[in-house]
Structure 1
Amino acid sequence: MNAVSPICLIDLAPALRWSKSADVADVLRHARLVDGWWRSLPLPRVLDIAGPTWLAHCLARLAVEQWDHLALDEFLPTLRALAVDMDEIAEPVRGSVLATAGGWDQLVTASPAAMRDWGHPDNCGVLEVVSMVTWRAVHPFTRDCAGGPSPSPALMVEAVRTIANWMPASAPEHVHSALAYLTNATGAGDAESVDDGPQQSPATRAIRTLRALRAQRDEEAAEEPAPASSTPPPSPPPTPSLAESLTRRPRSNSLLGPNRTLRRPAFGPPKALRTETPDDDAPPAEAPAGLGEHPLIDLLDQLFRSWGDLERAVAAERLFAADPVSIRVLSDQLRVDIGEIRNAQRTVEEQLLQWLGSPAGAPVTQHLRDISEQLGAATTIDHLISAHPDHPVEVPSLATPLWRVVITLFTDRRLHNGWLVAAEPHQLRWQTRQLVTGGPSITEAGIRLGKLGIRPQALRAWLLSTPGVSVRDGYVVVDESVAMEAPEQTAAFAAGHAMLPQDSPGSTTANGLPIRRRPAVAQPRQEPRLDVTTSARCFRAPDGRWWHRVDVTADHLNGAPVTVPPGYATHLGLQPGRLLCLTAPGADLLVLVWRDQPAFDSLRPLLRRLSAQPGDRVFITVNGDRLDARRLPSADLTDHGPTSKALHLIGYTAPASTEEALEIIARRISEDTDGAPTDPTRLLDLLTKRGDTDIVNELRPTLYAAH
């Protein structure tokens, strides 16, 4: 039976059940896990995503930093039924435990606070000892306990020896310390029995080590009896191209093969940089699914195989990858010019959009519609994977599971902290809190949140991921002491924030995917002004380039979309229903897409590179497919006059008189500097029509006082 354990982390560590999420979130936060996962996500799934090492280290930190007064077997009660032989513990922890606690039973009945007085050796402190204990508590919930293979100690020793042989003496001290720990923990230093001689270099010793390992594998293979067969052995397959080797690379669990058998890793240079042919004794790749078994997989695979090697490599490494490779790194790996990579990516995106809108791509487009409706406004990655039996299946030409492709093709939702959300996340969580006030039951809360598009399968996890919301004895409780700022009152949000309207006919993007819109204010719909000179927060520099100001918020730093005026998007050449891929400083890829309004999917890579903080102002401009940005840090302008504050809003920081400030602002919002409005009243009217009311509010008192 291969059932998934429903046990969550709060069941393993009961102290977490009574703690506030905010108290432990800093330690337990993980980029690929939903907020509050320790209350809702099964432990085996957590371990599949984050790994036992990460989780054990987090538990050790909590035990040492927050619950050091609890004995370890009180913090993790399952330790009471766990018998561990000291010989099963690696050095230097084993020696530290024997020298202090004396044995396993004495160790787990002690608290971290008491351990601080034990006098641990310098190379192994309290946190290191406790992390070993938490690893033993976590390990039974890994897939290994269901019959999976255990890692080979011999291969671990060989890996450490190979690293030691290749690492130069000039490596940083902390790298040498890390290698020394691995050497002691695995016994790799004692395992060296071959005298390589003083004249041999580390590279020579490493090559000899690898040859010896290969010879040993050949001997093992020769000892196995070959099955009788009259069929001649097949000829070896041709050596794959570099692009094929990249697209066939496993995305995760690279040491696990078919039926979770352990593959033998190859220690050496990265595969993309190797020139030799693959090993003859390498394990066979997983056989692709048969044609007809997965129609969606076959359809997408046929599309990707029709592309060239470069386009397919870009799709696998950048477009559909969980951690996209930068253009520069991919250029180095493929030995291709950066410009060719950019051109290939634009070609891939355009072909995808055209294919999804064509009859050939109709089944995939329909699948995206069906899945979008099934998942609702917010869903976890787990629910997406289990929403269709084909989602975990790999697309052979990309070595990428279908669910990763689906996430990329979604145009009505984005990934945010482990959630696929069809609306602005902060706004949706704020609405959630408003709807569940009064302590409704889980059933009643589900009915209320159904108006927001929250489906029953995601209800509990979504509630627990909302700040200040918890579930107790079947009822939803809101802790008002947990602050949560209300979202900005936009025109689309002001009319009614309690529910999402039903999709109306024709409410789709250019490629046919659904768009969810919030109810609009009851007023005549105005067509957007498509002129950059009349677009808010857009200013023309003396060199003729137009810059757009982004007022940075905490949501932007967390990956929220950043809207831009339609006039500025049109100025850049973007049209409704299309997207524009831009290369930012550092070769980061930014996508500007025009759905119901133009917006960057996220500026987080750019904002992080600029070290931006909430309150900063970032000015962006585009030249061709390259985006440039300048950060204007938030500053205390209390002692500055209104004109200085107004100039700060257009990115001008030099001092200027009122008359000079008006002239500068007039030039910055006009295409023709000779026709710039010089009359103060006319200038204020133009700024108001543009939507630059913040500038108007700074200038108006000064102009009134002057007159």
Structure 2
Amino acid sequence: MSRSLGIRLAHLVPPLDDTCEESLQQALGHPDLFEKHWWRQVTLPRALHAIGPDHLATGLAHLTLDRWQDLALGEIMPALYLTGEHPDVLATHPHEWPDPEGAHKYLHDLYLTALDHLPWEAPPTGPGTGPLFTEIEGWFATADPRRRAVAGRRVLTLNSETLDTLGSRFGVTRERIRQIHKQVGQEVRSRLKGARGARTSAHLPELSRKLGVATPLDAFWDLSPEYPDVLPSLDLPVGEVLLRLLPGHRVVDGWITSEGATALVRKLTEELAERTVIPLEEAERVPLEGGVPQEHALAWLSALPHARVMDGHLVRWGRNLPDKAFAVLTVAGRPLHFDELLERVGTGFNESGFRERIHGDERIMRRDRRLFGLRAWGGREYLGLEETMRRQLVEAGGEMPVSTLVERITDWFDITESSIRAMSAGSEFTRPRPGWVALPGVVTARTPYRPRRVVERTRRCFRDIEGAWWLRVELNGEHLRGSGFPIPSGFAVSVGMGPGCRLPVRIGDRPSIAAWKNQPLMNSIRPLLLLEDAQVGDHAFITLTGGRVLCRLHKANAVPHDPFAAALYLAGRSVTDDLSSLIHAVGLPEDAEAPELMAHLTDRGDQDLLTLLTPHL
């Protein structure tokens, strides 16, 4: 038979129940079976594998001659009838036999034959037959249900149940479960130090050596065929119990790791922070020299937080999309088409949002309509069709033949001739004569760039008493998190910026860049906002002077209730100022009056100020 029966020795030998424990222990005891009354507790296949049929047959022969002389052999073990022995022999009593020594050998052989005839097969190896299984199962096989539950569901498991859950299960308080937890923990530690835990205690250092500083949990189960075996008393695999007993290791995110692995993670994280990309051959030396088993080194690198293995490199994989795009381009070493860049960065985000984010990152340069590279590589930057045409016209003195413009741009970028001609015919440009295109106002190379709306006509731009222009920015969560943001071209020109410029500035103590690609952009002003304890909804007035970005904060909760005072407050002026102060702030002449102010605000689009002033002016 290939199926083991769940019988115990006491089922086969009824006299065991009526024999004193001392005699049974003396005849049947064995160091590999720790359970009390094992002949009633342990299945016979497991017992026979642990102690061997010869030991069992010898013990039963001794008991038959010493304790069961008044019983017929068939009464001692009814299974003897399976051996084919003559029924008359099985009806005899041991005290009737004159030769004790010969009787002992005869009984030993007879019991051994009976055991061989039982319908079970004990495999040489397999579930529940290993020495670790036998030893650990012996710790709790006869324990009361609460101690077994606490051991299996809290002390020796990787997925502990709460004190309250176990307390409810057994109808006791969480404090009582805590006490049992402590007792079971002490008991386990005591057994590991004694004879009943010798095999497990000796196995743990060897297991620690095999695991190294880090090993995948999946790979752990293959280290021994005994690890997946489930202990009946605990309802846990042997391997899970060993992991809980193993000092210096813990299971985290599918890995068995140690403090040594933590130090390796820190080392590589610091290295990636400086370099972004490390050749894989160089990166692999860190885990190999640090104690990660060779077969798991690559998987360990792949599992590093905020890192990724890509094209033979270990790459810092930042939290934001521009960082990821920068890493992908660094590894590629060449400009990538937007679709390829998108594919390598991954999914789970909005495509148009991704495009906007990389457009605004100073490390990344748009090399063509859908081609991106790193600014450090150099090359011609594509700023969009309109801006590219505008730059060429400025360099040509303000006007040039459309055919020349087409030839230049199509040579540099993947732009169709029809797109360029259509843009030339649009409202953004003028046509001074047939076949020619010009900038509005015939701007020449010596004429500074003039925005469509100068700063005086730009919404939310206000002049201070010294004549410097400030932009009012209503703060949102993106500003506070450190995102850059576009600024009006009229304001940008007023503070010294122009198309294509990359103006070095300082924001607080941090060096930064104010750039103008397709549109002027202000980099993060978060350091200045932190100094002012800014909140969402507050009004930040910013300007750029002397190479520094300055910021004044007007709190949203401090806007006056008086409409005219509130208008002054939102224009960056003192709430006690008069109408002339407001007129000056929006760039009007000093002799301007209220109607001119209202018309000017309407032209600028300052609807908030108009709403406040309309009932009073």
Q: TM-score range by the shorter chain?
A: 0.3 to 0.5
Larger Rg: 2
- TM-score between both structures, scaled by the size of structure 2: 0.37
- TM-score between both structures, scaled by the size of structure 1: 0.32
The higher-RCO structure (CA 8 Å, 6+ apart) is 1
Counting strand residues as a fraction of each chain, which structure ranks higher?
2
